[in-house]
């Protein structure tokens, strides 16, 4: 080592410092996102695992099924808009998000919040009996019969099952939802380069997180491969909502303001 030219060893040190810097930077991104997720995920994993066998009784399912279509739509939209509020808070806590212009913040949230919700649903989904958390207890697809959107619900439950099969950790869900939110290809973005840079860092962090736990490297590929199904669900939801509004033109009052703002 003593024989090495001075500038060479200094170069090595420089390089090592640079490497450490990048590692701590990605570590920072990871920590920020995980903290943001845990602070805004509505239910802790522990709370959810305590609730998972708390299933709606037959009577409770029947009472949901006998609700008029409009009332069930309203109930679902209330729960969805409540959950969206947490997604908005999640976005606001992500490094870089509040530095984007207001237009882009709104574009990203409008385009991404349902996808984030669908990924978050994995935490509140029990694949062993195909139930999801709704109104404080778990229940199957039949709870939603009166909505008249069977194909939409089948697609949502199908996604729930496939995402659960990936057995994602809270850390992976945090990073995956952040990456989906920071999609640079959303229409009407004005600074998509900025968003691209933020998403690049998040995917790097996600890759690192996956390497920590898994031997197989294709988990990221599998996660990304679910995005088209999510897009399909978002489009189906938009179609069903449009149809519902055609049948019930007096719906301005029944949906919560946030739901209207995002989807109408
Ligand atoms: C979140 C908590 C949460 C809250 C609401 C659009 C429509 C007419 C019907 C849950 C969809 C019906 C949603 C309420 C149904 C699939 C919706 C209604 C994770 C997600 C979760 C559990 C939502 C999952 C999807 C639900 C059940 O932290």
Q: What are the mean pLDDT values of the chain's consecutive 10-residue runs (264 residues total)?
A: 50 56 87 98 97 98 97 98 98 98 98 98 98 98 97 98 97 98 98 97 94 80 97 98 93 92 96
Residue 87 corresponds to which tokens in the numbers above? 């997604």
- Identify the residue whose C-alpha is closest to ligand 1 atom 17: 76
CA of 173 to the centre of ligand 1 (A): 17
> What pTM, to 2 d.p., does this model score?
0.92
**pLDDT confidence of residue 14:** 56
Q: Is 84 exposed, middle or buried (0-12, 13-18, 19+ CB in 10 A)?
A: buried
Q: Ligand 1 in contact with 220 (CB < 6 A)?
A: no
> Per this entry, what is the length of the chain?
264
Question: Is 61:138 a contact under the CB 8 Å cutoff?
Answer: no
CA of 13 to the centre of ligand 1 (A): 52
Q: Ligand 1 in contact with 180 (CB < 6 A)?
A: no
**pLDDT confidence of residue 252:** 82
Chain centroid to CA 226: how far? Answer: 12
CA of 260 to the centre of ligand 1 (A): 16
Q: Report the alpha-carbon distance of residue 34 to residue 252 in Å, rounded.
A: 37
Q: Ligand 1 in contact with 56 (CB < 6 A)?
A: no
Which ipTM score applies to this complex?
0.99
CA separation, residue 247 to residues 95, 181, 243 (Å): 43, 32, 6
Chain centroid to CA 33: how far? Answer: 12
Q: Ligand 1 in contact with 157 (CB < 6 A)?
A: no
Q: Is the dihedral of CA 187, 185, 98, 100 positive or negative?
A: negative
Half-sphere exposure of 198 (CA within 13 A, CB side): 27
**pLDDT confidence of residue 17:** 56
**pLDDT confidence of residue 20:** 63
Place of tokens 């695992």: 49
**pLDDT confidence of residue 22:** 75
CA separation, residue 169 to residues 4, 70, 76, 87 (Å): 46, 36, 27, 18
What does the longest C-alpha to C-alpha distance in the chain come to?
Answer: 85
Q: Ligand 1 in contact with 72 (CB < 6 A)?
A: no
């Amino acid at each position: 080592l003593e024989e090495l030219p001075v500038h060479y060893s200094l170069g090595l040190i420089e390089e090592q410092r640079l490497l450490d810097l990048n590692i701590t930077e990605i570590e920072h991104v990871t920590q920020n996102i995980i903290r943001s997720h845990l602070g805004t995920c509505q239910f802790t994993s522990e709370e959810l695992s305590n609730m998972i066998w708390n299933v709606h009784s037959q009577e409770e399912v029947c009472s949901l099924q006998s609700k008029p279509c409009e009332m069930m739509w309203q109930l679902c939209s209330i729960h969805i808009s409540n959950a969206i509020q947490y997604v908005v808070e999640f976005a606001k806590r992500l490094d870089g998000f509040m530095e984007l212009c207001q237009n882009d913040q709104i574009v990203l949230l409008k385009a991404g919040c349902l996808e984030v919700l669908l990924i978050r649903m994995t935490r509140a989904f029990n694949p062993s009996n195909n139930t999801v958390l709704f109104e404080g207890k778990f229940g199957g697809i039949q709870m939603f019969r009166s909505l008249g959107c069977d194909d939409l619900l089948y697609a949502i439950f199908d996604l729930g099952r496939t995402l659960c099969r990936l057995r994602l950790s809270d850390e992976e869900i945090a990073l995956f939802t952040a990456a989906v939110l920071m999609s640079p290809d959303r229409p009407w973005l004005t600074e998509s380069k900025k968003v691209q840079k933020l998403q690049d860092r998040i995917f790097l962090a996600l890759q690192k997180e996956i390497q920590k736990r898994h031997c197989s490297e294709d988990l990221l590929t599998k996660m990304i491969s679910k995005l088209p199904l999510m897009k399909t669900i978002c489009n189906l939801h938009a179609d069903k909502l449009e149809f519902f509004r055609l049948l019930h033109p007096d719906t301005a009052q029944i949906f919560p303001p946030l739901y209207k703002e995002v989807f109408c």
